[in-house]
């Protein structure tokens, strides 16, 4: 690949942006040493400014660094846009290779021989965790590496260093990926706080309660009987506004409220022919609210022995030996 160059600023400092076979580097003007030098194997994501934006920008995200690099092309239009598009095309192809776990091999340069012990070559040719979404696999592995700095350093030395492949590195570390996937799949539990809309006093002595979609969802979820009343009466008998106004003045709402109650709203509780139908009668403690669905045998033959018993739910009687 021929080296790409373009005039670009970095952190509001003018300079020259270059894309070589192995690195993306930026050098301030009047200097010869690059101030930013990023290996192409670490390129993970790319973002560009919209068409027609006042500034032509390019943002490069890295695999092991949450802080991305932002470059603003400073050539006069339309040269700035054309330069950005050339960098975008090349970097997009490089990121695609990185996500496909194909190491980008830099151009061969004469180096001193390294004494590195040969690593066992794995015959594994399939991904560690089968998935149809390479981007999701890439994010999962990235989260694991970010959470484990030592493992991330080992990944840089072995995989980015070109000694082993991505699949060989994760072979034997599937438990880390599975644990991360399980943590990501966990859903937040329901809050233990009771749904208790608090009335607000407004001018004129009136009481107002703000009805939001989230409040309606929480009331229906906490009190299914209200959802039932809503489905049976709106809009056939009541409008939505009338439903909520009468509900907050009903005995049903007063029964659902939390123990800490606003005394300002107690005087508005009144009988309602619609909502009173959904009230449960008070439990007098004398008999169960609902009859048992099956018969229960309340008699036990105390004179029976183990031979008289058929398999039952309670343990068989043990005959007593009476001493004379």
* pLDDT one-digit tens code per residue, 223-247: 888 899 999 998 888 898 889 888 8
Q: Is the pLDDT of residue 39 over 50?
A: yes
Q: Is the pLDDT of residue 62 over 70?
A: yes
What distance in Å separates the CA atoms of residue 189 and residue 23, rounded to the nearest whole number? 46
pLDDT band for position 307 (cuts 50, 70, 90):
low
- Give per-residue pLDDT as tens, 211-224: 888 888 888 888 88
Q: Are 159 and 103 in contact (CB under 8 A)?
A: yes
Residue with structure tokens 């690949």?
A: 1
The string of DSSP letters for 33-93 reads: S-SEEEEGGGEEEEEEPPTT-SSEEEEEEETTEEEEEEEEE-SPTTHHHHHHHHHHHHHHH
Angle, to 10 degrees, between the axis of helix 224-233 and the axis of helix 240-247? 140
Q: Which residue did the predictor score with more confidence, 227 or 304? A: 227
Element (H, E) at 6: strand 4-10
Helix segments in 249-311, DSSP class H: 251-256
What distance in Å separates the CA atoms of residue 150 and residue 152, rounded to the nearest whole number? 5
Neighbours of 98 (CB within 10 A): 21
Q: Which residue did the predictor score with more confidence, 66 or 311? A: 66
- Give per-residue pLDDT as tens, 155-211: 888 888 888 888 888 888 888 888 888 888 877 666 655 676 777 776 666 777 888
What distance in Å separates the CA atoms of residue 135 and residue 228, rounded to the nearest whole number? 43
Neighbours of 20 (CB within 10 A): 16
Q: Is the pLDDT of residue 9 over 90?
A: yes
- Give per-residue pLDDT as tens, 79-108: 888 999 999 999 988 888 888 764 444 444
pLDDT band for position 119 (cuts 50, 70, 90):
very low
Q: Is the pLDDT of residue 8 over 90?
A: yes
What distance in Å separates the CA atoms of residue 154 and residue 145, rounded to the nearest whole number? 10
Handedness of CA 48, 50, 52, 55 (dihedral sign): negative
Nearest alpha-carbon partner for 71 in 20, 115, 113, 19: 19
Q: Which residue did the predictor score with more confidence, 84 or 298? A: 84
Query: Percent of the chain scored above 90 by pLDDT?
Result: 14
pLDDT band for position 279 (cuts 50, 70, 90):
confident
pLDDT band for position 259 (cuts 50, 70, 90):
very low
Query: Percent of the chain scored above 70 by pLDDT?
Result: 68
Q: Determine the pLDDT at residue 74.
A: 92
Rg (CA), the chain: 36
């Amino acid at each position: 690949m021929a080296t790409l160059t373009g005039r670009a600023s970095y952190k509001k400092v003018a300079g020259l942006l270059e894309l070589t076979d192995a690195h993306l580097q930026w050098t301030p003007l009047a200097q010869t040493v690059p101030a930013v030098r990023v290996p192409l194997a670490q390129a993970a994501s790319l973002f560009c400014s919209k068409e027609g934006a006042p500034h032509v920008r390019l943002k490069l995200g890295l695999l092991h660094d949450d802080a991305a690099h932002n470059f603003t092309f400073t050539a006069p239009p339309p040269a700035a846009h054309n330069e950005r598009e050339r960098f975008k095309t090349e970097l997009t192809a490089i990121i695609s290779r990185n996500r496909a776990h194909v190491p980008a091999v830099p151009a061969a340069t004469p180096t001193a021989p390294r004494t590195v012990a040969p690593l066992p070559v794995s015959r594994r040719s399939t991904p560690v965790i089968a998935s149809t979404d390479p981007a999701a696999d890439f994010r999962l592995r990235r989260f694991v590496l970010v959470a484990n700095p030592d493992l991330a350093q080992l990944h840089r030395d072995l995989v980015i260093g070109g000694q082993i492949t991505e699949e060989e590195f994760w072979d034997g570390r599937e438990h880390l990926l599975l644990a991360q996937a399980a943590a990501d799949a966990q859903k937040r539990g329901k809050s233990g706080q009771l749904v208790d809309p608090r009335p607000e006093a407004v001018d004129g002595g009136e009481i107002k309660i703000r009805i939001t979609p989230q409040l309606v969802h929480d009331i229906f979820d906490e009190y299914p009987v209200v959802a039932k009343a809503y489905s049976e009466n709106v809009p056939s008998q009541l409008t939505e506004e009338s439903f909520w106004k009468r509900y907050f003045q009903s005995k049903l709402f007063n029964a659902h409220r939390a123990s800490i109650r606003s005394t300002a709203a107690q005087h508005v509780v009144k009988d309602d022919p619609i909502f009173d139908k959904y009230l449960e009668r008070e439990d007098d403690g004398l008999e169960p609210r609902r009859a048992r669905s099956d018969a229960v045998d309340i008699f036990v033959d105390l004179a029976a022995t183990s031979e008289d018993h058929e398999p039952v739910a309670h343990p068989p009687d043990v005959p007593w030996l009476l001493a004379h």
